[in-house]
A and B are shown apart, each in its own frame.
Chain A
Amino acid sequence: MQIKKSKISNGVKINLDGKEIICQSGKTIMQVAKENGVIIPGLCRHDDFPAKANCRICVVEISPSTALRTSPSAGSPRPDFVVSAQSNELGTKAGQAAKLVTSCSTEVVDGMIIRTDTARVKKSRNLNIELIFAEHIERCPTCIRRFNCALLELADKYKIEITAFKDRKGKRKIYKFANAVEIDGTQCIDCRNCLDACNNLQKINFLELRGKGIEQEIVPATEGNGFPFIGKRRKKVDCIYCGQCSLYCPVTAAQEQAHWQLVEKDLKNKSKVLVAQFAPSIRVSIGEGFGVPGGKVMTGQVVAALKELGFNYVFDVNFGADITTIVEAEELLARVKSGQGGPMFTSCCPAWIKYVEFFRPDLIPNLTTARSPQIHSAGIIKTYWAEKLKINPKNIVVVSIMPCTAKKFEAGRKELKISGHYPIDYVITTRELIWLIKKNKINFAGLEPLPADNPLGLASGAAAIYGASGGVMESALRTAEYLMQTAQDAVCRDLDKEGKPRVKFCDSKIEFKAVRGLAGVRRAELAMGDKKLRVAVVNGIGNVKPVLDNLKDYDYIEVMACPDGCIGGGGQPIPTTAAIRKTRLAALYKIDGSSKIRRAHENSQAVEVLSWLKNKGKLENKVLLTKYKKRS
């Protein structure tokens, strides 16, 4: 005879701070507590990584007990509810001795009695917080996380002195990687999230933990004797500037090299024309920095805030993205038609470019020569727009607001100079902009939305999705298919008497859903006219290897170094988690879906600029194309 168990499927009953709770097994105490409104602090824990349980501030007291299983409330009609409040004595009734465990790594077990607020818990938690404070040299006045600081929040919440112990890391080094990212040993709290980001997530293995005990230190693997061990062999390695370490660092020990101070200085310079341009993915993430739920589109507020900060003009890089799409689609078709060897890679992710230049210089010929959207946009500002407004490009300061740390490095590439000028003067991250807005006490969420400046204000839906993994490819495919079906090799080669391109009718596809999604690698085979196009989208540089190992299988490959693309970029607001990225992603596709024009080549302003460039001789290639170099 079978005995039926009257158990809630996968359900366990626990007692949390005196309340009985029925919850799902397999969850950690911290997760269950959060679902029930009890926030347990944690510094080393991150939703995107397995628990490491090394900071030890999420400790709770547990005692196993059988008392709960026989409690009269077991038959409650609403087991999903907190069924009854138990007396505080329950904790002491338990047969076995209570002990402290880390709630980030300990799963709930049926009958577990959990207290998050005993004297013992408070003592360990607060002491560990104090000990961690003494590892971190405070640089609060100029720290861009001052308004969003995990340590200050803990000090405030638990009324803890941040100077109980003497600082012990004052003499640690600051490692700077190009002009993009830095690891500041004087601020590190030894949580190791940066190692998870660099080595496990991105698989770059540039960061290494050296030494033990209080001597342990995060260092670039190239420090000292040079090469790190990967597997059993030493390999050359370098930073690709993706900044994922800075996105996961709880205390700005890993962070972008800040350039907001330089921007602030130039904003006061009245002899300059200050121009800001912002990336496609900023608008859907920046709100999070101001308590707005993730995924809210705030394009108008970004423009308004930048104007409020003192910028004379604010342009939307979505315009530049349409330029990139057209240039890249034309190149893709040319390559496919010529049967030129190997697949073509996208190039708008500067961390990916650094990866190729350092790790796989043999693939340089496969990169599209199209410049990235921010460079296209800024180059057009300093040529086309400067000419229209009769401003000497020398007097224009272009500040790019990017979700990215590697864009700082990209903007400094000498080969991008046009007539002696760098297209972009400064790049600041989403986080730096949030900091500037807060520092200047601008009520971001309450700003009256403003449109981006014109000309260069028009953008297609295809541009918006540049911020998502798969978006660049989808945009290029929309235009490539149009060119294919209308038998053209360029969007604006065929001009009418007035010099305007002839618009051809085409019912080409808009949505290429096969290249969308969250998978690490997405592959598809698409019909392009009479040709078949085999494509792959690599979502996160950590997933690039299987694709690079099978290059022959593809004609066109998009690689974004950060998880889910720029919306998960190294310069985005903290926290960024897989769940948060999802909301940002959805918002970008919503913008695309509701755009009047969906395809880059339908952007009449973009086409006009391209036509203008056609008549400018060498300038055309200078503004639109670039080259790469081996860096290893």
Chain B
Amino acid sequence: MDILEKIKQAGLVGRGGAGFLVAKKWSAVKDAAGDPSASSPRPELGTKAGQVKKYVVCNAAEGEPGLVKDSYILEHHADKVIDGMKIAINFLSVGSEKNKPAVKGYIFLNHAYNKKLNKKLAALLKDSAIEIFIKPIESGYIGGEESAVLNAIEGRRIEPRLKPPFPVTHGLWGFPTLVNNVETFYNVNLVNSDQYKNNRFYDIAGDCPNEGVYELPADLTIEKVLKETKNYPKFPFFAQVGGDMAGEVLSSRQLKGPATGAGSITVFSLAKNNYKKIITGWLDFFADESCGQCTPCREGTYRLREVFMEEKIDWVLFNDLLDNLADASFCALGGSVVVPIRSFMKNVLPEMEAKK
């Protein structure tokens, strides 16, 4: 059974947060022509016709507060991650004798991780077609979006690209590019050696005693995950799942489903937090981290903060600005601004207000 079939059967989904089917992405890159001169939206690249190149990028940007699992995986399983990348490179390298794609790999590494991981990774990457690209310090949260990653590597302004075309057909320098998260490549390694057990990594943090990264079955409910790691609070609480900024906020009664997105669970004590502080924290983050490309996010997040700071909040306008972010943002990160705020207000705020 070839690797693609194995990935399909394992039902692997991307662990960067979006949960895209891994097999689908891999096929798309494999099927892409690999010759940007044919239909490139960026003809200035001026690549010679017929030159077939493809790229594999391991996204270790991990720019969202609350997430450290990629760092953890690279620290403990770097060999498996790199093997996963090599499997992808081999998979994409297959072609006819005349038309064999040259495949190169990059690890897009969070600059904060570079210091402790560089030596180790460099040793593992020796004589391979993979190199480390250190995520520029100023690239921030947006620098983890997959097309922004490509811009960073190309030396362009770090912000998402207009899609379509998608990176799978027009990625780095216009060539088909496979961008997967650290955990995804780790899983590919497991799938390949028939060791994949449908586990995933959970970042657990916040008002709980045993903060840390845990590898547990992916279908566990959030509640179970908290209990098994001895983190389930005895006090009234709520949780944010899938990132401390863009993750969904759930009340303690809503934890009967599995964790979605990037697999982080942050516990908040209901008594210790107030809504003004929490929402301001998110708005500050999103306004500061907006790349500035589109109106709903650049202007919208700034105005949301402005409206929210007013003594008398114009909730109609506040909601309109959120709707606009969800509906009309340039990239998914703009759309995700809405998630924590709306889910918090719906799932937690009434309870929080009632307790007062």
User: B79: shortest Cβ distance to chain A, in Å?
Assistant: 33
Of the residues B288, B320, B330, contact of A54 by C-beta under 8 Å: B330
User: B145: shortest Cβ distance to chain A, in Å?
Assistant: 13
- A359-375 residues at the B interface, CB under 8 angstroms: none
**Judging by beta carbons under 8 Å apart, are A134 and B162 in contact?**
no
Q: Does A139 contact B (CB under 8 A)?
A: no
**Judging by beta carbons under 8 Å apart, are A124 and B290 in contact?**
no
Q: Which residue of B lies closest to A129 (CB)?
A: B295
- Give B287-312 as 1s and 0s: 1 = Cβ < 8 Å from A's Cβ atoms: 11111111110111111001000000
Q: Which of chain A's residues have a CB closer than 8 A to the CB of B329? A: 56
- B262-309 residues at the A interface, CB under 8 angstroms: 287-296, 298-303, 306
Contacting chain B: which of A212-220, A462-470, A599-607?
A212-220
Q: Does A141 contact B (CB under 8 A)?
A: no
User: A101: shortest Cβ distance to chain B, in Å?
Assistant: 9
Bound state CA distance, A342 and B301, in angstroms? 58
- Known A50-B41, A56-B330, A190-B292; judge A214-B320 contact (CB<8 A): no
Q: Which of chain B's residues have a CB closer than 8 A to the CB of A134? A: 299, 303
Q: Which of chain B's residues have a CB closer than 8 A to the CB of A209? A: 157
Q: Which residue of A lies closest to B323 (CB)?
A: A123
Of the residues A54, A127, A214, contact of B324 by C-beta under 8 Å: A127
User: B6: shortest Cβ distance to chain A, in Å?
Assistant: 31
Q: Which of chain B's residues have a CB closer than 8 A to the CB of A40? A: none
**Judging by beta carbons under 8 Å apart, are B293 and A59 in contact?**
no
User: B350: shortest Cβ distance to chain A, in Å?
Assistant: 26
Of the residues B289, B290, B296, contact of A56 by C-beta under 8 Å: B296
User: A56: shortest Cβ distance to chain B, in Å?
Assistant: 5
Q: Which residue of B lies closest to A232 (CB)?
A: B155
**Judging by beta carbons under 8 Å apart, are A54 and B299 in contact?**
no
Bound state CA distance, A213 and B286, in angstroms? 9
Number of A-B contacts (CB under 8 A): 92
Among A54, A123, A190, A209, which residue has the most Cβ atoms of chain B within 10 A? A54
Q: Which residue of A lies closest to B287 (CB)?
A: A213
**Judging by beta carbons under 8 Å apart, are A123 and B320 in contact?**
yes
**Judging by beta carbons under 8 Å apart, are B292 and A213 in contact?**
yes
Q: Does A31 contact B (CB under 8 A)?
A: no
Q: Does A120 contact B (CB under 8 A)?
A: yes
Q: Does B213 contact A (CB under 8 A)?
A: no
Q: Does B321 contact A (CB under 8 A)?
A: yes
Of the residues B44, B142, B292, B330, contact of A214 by C-beta under 8 Å: B292
Q: Does B31 contact A (CB under 8 A)?
A: no
**Judging by beta carbons under 8 Å apart, are A213 and B324 in contact?**
no
Bound state CA distance, A299 and B89, in angstroms? 66
**Judging by beta carbons under 8 Å apart, are B295 and A57 in contact?**
yes
User: B141: shortest Cβ distance to chain A, in Å?
Assistant: 10
- A53-71 residues at the B interface, CB under 8 angstroms: 53-57, 59
Q: Does A51 contact B (CB under 8 A)?
A: yes
Of the residues A51, A100, A127, A213, contact of B320 by C-beta under 8 Å: A127
Q: Does A81 contact B (CB under 8 A)?
A: no
- Known A53-B162, A54-B294; judge A59-B299 contact (CB<8 A): no
**Judging by beta carbons under 8 Å apart, are B162 and A131 in contact?**
no
- Known A54-B330, A214-B287; judge A131-B299 contact (CB<8 A): yes
Bound state CA distance, A37 and B110, in angstroms? 50
Q: Which of chain A's residues have a CB closer than 8 A to the CB of B306? A: 165-166
Q: Which of chain A's residues have a CB closer than 8 A to the CB of B298? A: 190, 213-214, 216
User: B227: shortest Cβ distance to chain A, in Å?
Assistant: 35
- B309-338 residues at the A interface, CB under 8 angstroms: 320-321, 323-324, 327-330
Q: Which residue of B lies closest to A191 (CB)?
A: B295
**Judging by beta carbons under 8 Å apart, are B162 and A51 in contact?**
yes
Of the residues A59, A105, A214, contact of B162 by C-beta under 8 Å: A105
User: B268: shortest Cβ distance to chain A, in Å?
Assistant: 27
Q: How large is the interface on A (under 10, 10 to 19, 20 to 34, 35 or more residues)?
A: 35 or more
Of the residues A120, A215, A229, contact of B155 by C-beta under 8 Å: A229
- A186-211 residues at the B interface, CB under 8 angstroms: 190, 200, 209, 211
Q: Which of chain B's residues have a CB closer than 8 A to the CB of A57? A: 295
**Judging by beta carbons under 8 Å apart, are A212 and B290 in contact?**
yes
**Judging by beta carbons under 8 Å apart, are A55 and B295 in contact?**
yes
Q: Which of chain B's residues have a CB closer than 8 A to the CB of A214? A: 287, 290, 292, 298-299, 302
Q: Does A168 contact B (CB under 8 A)?
A: yes
**Judging by beta carbons under 8 Å apart, are B323 and A124 in contact?**
yes
Q: Does A52 contact B (CB under 8 A)?
A: yes
- Give A23-40 as 1s and 0s: 1 = Cβ < 8 Å from B's Cβ atoms: 000000000000000000
Bound state CA distance, A212 and B41, in angstroms? 25
Q: Which residue of B lies closest to A59 (CB)?
A: B328
Bound state CA distance, A50 and B303, in angstroms? 29
Bound state CA distance, A132 and B159, in angstroms? 20
A-B contacts, 30 listed (Cβ < 8 Å):
A52-B162, A53-B294, A54-B293, A54-B295, A56-B296, A57-B295, A59-B328, A99-B327, A100-B328, A102-B328, A123-B323, A124-B328, A128-B295, A128-B299, A131-B299, A135-B299, A165-B303, A165-B306, A168-B302, A190-B292, A190-B298, A212-B140, A213-B287, A213-B289, A213-B291, A213-B301, A214-B287, A214-B290, A214-B299, A229-B155
Add 18 more A-B contacts to A53-B162, A57-B295, A190-B292 (CB < 8 A): A50-B41, A51-B162, A56-B294, A56-B295, A59-B328, A99-B327, A102-B328, A123-B324, A124-B296, A124-B328, A128-B299, A131-B296, A131-B303, A135-B299, A200-B44, A211-B292, A212-B290, A213-B287
Shortest 3 CB-CB contacts between residues of A and residues of B? A131-B299, A216-B292, A213-B290
Question: Measuring CB to CB, which residues of chain B are less than 8 angstroms from any residue of chain A?
Answer: 41, 44, 140, 142, 155, 157, 159, 162, 287-296, 298-303, 306, 320-321, 323-324, 327-330
